[in-house]
Amino acid sequence: MLLLLPLFAACQPRATGTAITNVTLIDAVNGIRPNQNVVFDGDQITAVTSSDTAPDAQRIIDGTGKFLIPGLWDFHVHLTYDDNFIESMPALFLSYGITSVRDTGGLMHKMLPVVEKMRSQDAVAPRVFFAGPLLDGEFVVYDGVSRPEIGVRNSTPGEARATIKELAAQGVDFIKIYEMVSPAVFDAMVETANELGLPIDSHVPLSMRARVAGPSVDSIEHLRNIEMDCAGNAAELHEARLALLENPDGMPGAELRSSLHSLQRMPAIDSYDEEQCDQTLAALESTMQVPTLRLGAFSLAPPYRRDDWEAALLRIPPTVREDWQAAAVEMAEAPVQEFIDFGEWAMFLTGRMHARGIPIGAGTDTPILLSVPGYSLHSELEYLVRAGLSPIEALGSATIRPAEFFALQDDMGTIDPGKKADLVLLDASPLRDIANSRKISGVVTKGVFYDRDALMALVDAS
Ligand SMILES: [Zn+2]
């Protein structure tokens, strides 16, 4: 050992990492830190120091005048919803600074190859966390008839347990409970997921009240069916739903669900009762809400009204582009008052939830309803700010909140030594205007830096 010492001293290892220097760091936990150097090596941030000292790194990226935020999450995506998007989605996400995604529904035979590819060595793709199929009840909404097949039937508690055990064996990261499950099936799903240590994502089942189902799950999507629990006559609406869920006319799942939504959603909003709603929100205190406002409040700020929409469309597959352009023309010509009313409700409820300290996650449901993968997450951030979050809180909903859902807050979600090397370099401060989250100068994904041109090349090649 003694003999080796002089040799060791002579061979001081050369620095191997990359440093982004003299940059302003912004994250939802540490706040704002100007004049910093951030060094990352491999897939890890190794140092965060004042820019007064020279960084120990092989490669230097000058961050002067720029802003560095943690890599963003889209917390609600469907990688396999549209076959036209399967190949291009990973690069699209990265080009917009989305370095992690949570897939909230897809059949396993389609999901597994996509996940395997995204997780393979040297894959240029966001980190991916997936649920597998929507776990539906006796009647299935996404049954492949009137809608894409991404749901599976769980008629009994026994069936539900078996399904979840099988999914766990196949490696899902969490489960997604859907809208048509019975209370008994819901309870079996919660119990099984808890036994297996799987986080639970959910829609509020139509057979249950939000205040009853909510506390058992870790996140709820789209504010779905919460309006029914905020109505003055919430108990009555629930009774009526239970009767209709018997489905005497034998409707298909999608039709049955739509009929219940149209029967109760807007009337419930009209019968909003603050005291009732306070009780609901109290029960949801520690259940992350993923309001997907860019979907639910789409009509308030449709993407086709944005200046950067055409440029975003140029990044997506041509067949999809043509369909979406036509759909946008149709929607612009015939605005639907009910959608506007629901959008306003969704904004109001999100604001109230946030004011009460309910954690909010940023998800888009891409590619559903003209949602360009990656692009639409920035719209979601704008919606969240409009609903009452501060810009740094909105960033938190796309960084630390998603990490917390998976108990990964020690690994991701802030800019600190020891965290994963997922970062987004911005040309302007997102705290000055959250829309500046779109002004991407470069992205670090799994420790590799891509400047703007390299990101565009990734999209072109996909
Ligand atoms: Zn979805």
Distance 104 CA to ligand 1 centre (A): 6
C-alpha span between 201 and 248 (Å, rounded):
29
Give me the domains of the chain, ranges plus CATH numbers: 71-132+218-230+272-413 (3.30.110.90)
H or E element: which one contains 184?
Answer: helix 183-196
Alpha carbon of 445 to ligand 1 centroid (Å): 25
Res 122: pLDDT:
87
Distance 103 CA to ligand 1 centre (A): 8
Distance 76 CA to ligand 1 centre (A): 6
pLDDT tens figures, 196-241: 999 999 999 999 999 999 999 999 999 999 999 999 999 999 999 9
Res 15: pLDDT: 84
How close is the Cα of 259 to the center of ligand 1, in Å?
19
108-129 pLDDT tens trace: 999 999 999 999 998 999 999 9
Residue-wise pLDDT for 67-80, tens only, equals 999 999 999 999 99
Distance, CA 129 to ligand 1 centroid (Å)? 14
In this prediction, residues 80-102 reach a mean pLDDT of 97
Cα of 82 from ligand 1 centre, angstroms? 12
| DSSP 8-state symbol, 420 | B
CA 33, 37, 38 angle in degrees (round to 5)? Answer: 95
* pLDDT value, residue 1: 44
Structure confidence at residue 171 as a pLDDT band (50, 70, 90): very high
* CA distances for 379 relative to 55, 129, 325, 438, angstroms: 35, 22, 18, 9
Confidence band for 6, pLDDT divided at 50, 70 and 90: very low
Rounded to the nearest angstrom, the distance between the alpha carbon of 219 and the centre of ligand 1 is 13
Mean pLDDT of the chain: 96
Beta pairing class for 18-27 and 59-62: parallel
Helices (H) and strands (E) in the chain, counts: 17, 17
* pLDDT value of residue 12: 61
**Can you tell me the mean pLDDT for 153-158?**
98
- Residue 146 is predicted with a pLDDT of 86
Q: What is the mean pLDDT of residues 387-395?
A: 98
For residue 427, the CA-to-ligand 1 centroid distance in Å is 31
Amino acid at 431: L
For 251-283, the DSSP string reads: --HHHHHHHHHHHHHHHHHHTB-HHHHHHHHHH
Question: How confident is residue 11, by pLDDT bands cut at 50, 70 and 90?
Answer: low
| d(C-alpha 297, C-alpha 293), whole Å | 5
Percent of the chain with pLDDT over 90: 95
Task: Average the pLDDT over 430-453 and give the result.
Answer: 98
Q: ω into residue 430 within 30 of 0, thus cis?
A: no
